[in-house]
Amino acid sequence: MEAFFGNLALGFGVALTLKNIFLCFVGCMVGTLIGVLPGVGPIATIAMLLPITFGFDPTGALIMLAGIYYGAQYGGSTTAILVNIPGEATSVVTVLDGHQMAKQGRAGVALGMAAIGSFFAGTVATLFIAALGQPLTKLAQLFGPAEYFSLMIMGLVFAVVLARGSILKAICMILLGLLLATVGTDLETGQERMTLGIQDLSDGIDFAVLAMGIFGFAEIVRNLENPETRDVVRAAIGKLWPGKDDFRQSYFPILRGTFIGAILGILPGNGAVLGPFASYTVEKKIAKDPKRFGRGAIEGVAGPESANNAGAQTAFIPLLTLGIPPNAVMALMVGAMTIHGIIPGPQVMTKNPELFWGMVASMWIGNLMLVIINLPLIGLWVKLLQVPYRMMFPAIMIFCCIGIYSINNSTSDVLFTAFFGLVGYTLLKFGFEPAPMLLGFVLGKLMEEKLRQALILSRGSFTTFIERPVSAGLLFVAIVMLALALLPSIRKGRDEVFTE
């Protein structure tokens, strides 16, 4: 307990310098600014804004990045409530009741409650990370290559189960991601693999390039193809601070949402995405009058938004303690950390305690900042959302181009991004969901490394994955999950959750 407070105090000591508060503020601000644009999710936002953090020291850069991350998340929710467009998978649920509230002239209350719920969830999740960080790091040090490999397999299985649509397609996407990750120089022999003789590919495909192509550019093309149905709220925004009744109705949904989101967020394989869905389902199930849902029930905003933010934050846990990014956004964080010379994993906490705890503390400050910045600036976001898409997309494109170019000062990166944009567009046309592919790509290199190490240790025998109890347990969970997802009855339920 003493260590817990000591660590938090250390963290706040780092995060509360004037410079770091300023960086956090700027991060939140630009993160929201870009994240609010319809069709630009957190992944594209972070990839785009990554270069602006390059000029700072690692701690400052990561604090700014955390700010960008929360800003991007909250920007997505703002778009979901004000326009009928979810910025990303996790705000799909917010659209249902949030936009209805906005149509009834209660957009302000919805946004206010989303911010308050998010802030509460963020506070709890920060404490959660601080409490769980150390024990999990100790646990991670007991992990051998076989356990790491099995854990990542479990993460990928989760991603398959959580993906929308056909399970076969999701599995194929993961495999494709893993295959893409093998491009580049082989770790052990130094031999170039599948680089097509292109010099720039010898280091492998850059994650930001792949993510930006598939999530940024492909989405622009997709949006242009479909006639614009942006439904920016015309009604007044109304007051921001929720009334007494709103609070009374929201206390428990926020508590439950926070709990659900925080737990699901820790799961490898993007469990965070499930949080808002689970929270919404729970609230609807236990509501006295479920008919209100979908017609502007405040619980349908408060619960899922809290779950969303709690999950977004606890998703840092697998990354910071095990070095395994649980989703694509966290993979970008890995990229950003590596650029600053930090390799995420259990050693960060022991070797750079200031950085680790500073970042944890800045998460809380970031959440507070969001409430302070966003609520007064809602008018500005509304204005921004009214800009027609024909002007929005060239702006998004040029930001993406400048962002990608600046990461490595490389024109070939920009060209690769265009190529992957085309690939992403093709995948969308064939009904593939690109998120699992990105996760496969993210984990690919680490998985191959661990697989090879495990097999060297076991002299080429695959039984090592079953003989070691922790590894066997993780694989067992993975198999059970996959089997459950394939059962027809559960499969139907899963489809319902995602279509609701």
Partner 1 sequence: MSDQVSPSEDQSTGLIKSTQELGAGLFLMAVAAFAYWQGFDLPRGSLRAMGPGMLPMALTFMVGAGGLLMVIYSFFEAGPRLERWSLRGPFFIFGGIIVFALLIRSCGLMVAGPASMIFAMLASDEFEWKEATIFSIAMTIICILLFKTLLRLPIPVIGTLLEPIFPF
For residues 367-386, which are near partner 1 according to CB under 8 A? Answer: none
Phi then psi dihedrals of residue 223, to 5 deg? -65, -35
Distances (CA, A) of 436 to 157, 288, 387: 10, 37, 32
Are the CB atoms for 302 and 77 separated by under 8 Å? no
Residue closer to partner 1, measured from CB, 131 or 418:
418
Task: By CB under 8 A, name the one of 334, 355, 401, 478 that touches partner 1.
Answer: 401
Scanning 8-16, 314-322, 360-368, 449-457 for contacts with partner 1 by CB under 8 A, the matching segment is 449-457
Residues 6+ apart with CB under 8 A from 225: none
Phi then psi dihedrals of residue 369, to 5 deg? -55, -40
Residue closer to partner 1, measured from CB, 207 or 399:
399
198 binds partner 1 (CB under 8 A): no
Say how far apart CA 355 and CA 349 lie, in whole Å: 8
Task: By CB under 8 A, name the one of 452, 470, 477, 500 that touches partner 1.
Answer: 452
CB of residue 180 to partner 1, shortest distance in Å: 9
Q: Show contacts with partner 1 in window 62-121 (CB under 8 A).
A: 86
Burial of 236 (C-beta count, 10 Å sphere; 0-12/13-18/19+) = exposed
463 binds partner 1 (CB under 8 A): no
Q: What is the DSSP letter of 408?
A: H
498 binds partner 1 (CB under 8 A): no
490 binds partner 1 (CB under 8 A): no
Return the amino acid letter for 349.
M
Are the CB atoms for 468 and 142 separated by under 8 Å? no
Where are the extended beta strands (E) located within 327-469? Answer: none
CB of residue 230 to partner 1, shortest distance in Å: 10
Strand partners, 193: 184
Q: Which helix (H) or strand (E) holds 374?
A: helix 353-385
Site for partner 1 (CB under 8 A): how many residues?
72
Scanning 135-143, 304-312, 453-461, 486-494 for contacts with partner 1 by CB under 8 A, the matching segment is 453-461
Phi then psi dihedrals of residue 193, to 5 deg? -120, 125
Say how far apart CA 24 and CA 84 lie, in whole Å: 29
CB of residue 226 to partner 1, shortest distance in Å: 5
18 binds partner 1 (CB under 8 A): no
Task: By CB under 8 A, name the one of 411, 466, 480, 491 that touches partner 1.
Answer: 411
Residue closer to partner 1, measured from CB, 255 or 422:
422
Say how far apart CA 269 and CA 153 lie, in whole Å: 9
**Tokens of residue 367, six digits:** 């959440």
Residue 446 CA to its chain's centroid (Å): 19
Scanning 47-55, 132-140, 271-279, 479-487 for contacts with partner 1 by CB under 8 A, the matching segment is 47-55
Task: By CB under 8 A, name the one of 8, 93, 124, 176 that touches partner 1.
Answer: 176
Torsion of CA 428, 430, 435, 441, to 10 degrees: -120
Say how far apart CA 237 and CA 107 lie, in whole Å: 5
Burial of 397 (C-beta count, 10 Å sphere; 0-12/13-18/19+) = middle
340 binds partner 1 (CB under 8 A): no
Are the CB atoms for 53 and 403 separated by under 8 Å? no
Residue closer to partner 1, measured from CB, 253 or 300:
300
Q: What is the DSSP letter of 426?
A: H
339 binds partner 1 (CB under 8 A): no
Task: By CB under 8 A, name the one of 70, 357, 381, 393 that touches partner 1.
Answer: 393
Scanning 242-250, 319-327, 367-375, 407-415 for contacts with partner 1 by CB under 8 A, the matching segment is 407-415
Scanning 48-56, 151-159, 266-274, 368-376 for contacts with partner 1 by CB under 8 A, the matching segment is 48-56
Task: By CB under 8 A, name the one of 3, 390, 469, 488 that touches partner 1.
Answer: 390
**Tokens of residue 174, six digits:** 């993961």
Q: Show contacts with partner 1 in window 202-261 (CB under 8 A).
A: 217, 219-226, 229
Scanning 13-21, 133-141, 365-373, 426-434 for contacts with partner 1 by CB under 8 A, the matching segment is 426-434
Residue closer to partner 1, measured from CB, 182 or 352:
182
Scanning 114-122, 192-200, 263-271, 280-288 for contacts with partner 1 by CB under 8 A, the matching segment is 192-200
Strand partners, 185: 192
Task: By CB under 8 A, name the one of 175, 375, 382, 477 that touches partner 1.
Answer: 175
Residues in the chain: 500
Are the CB atoms for 65 and 336 separated by under 8 Å? yes
CB of residue 161 to partner 1, shortest distance in Å: 17
Q: Show contacts with partner 1 in window 306-325 (CB under 8 A).
A: none
CB of residue 142 to partner 1, shortest distance in Å: 25
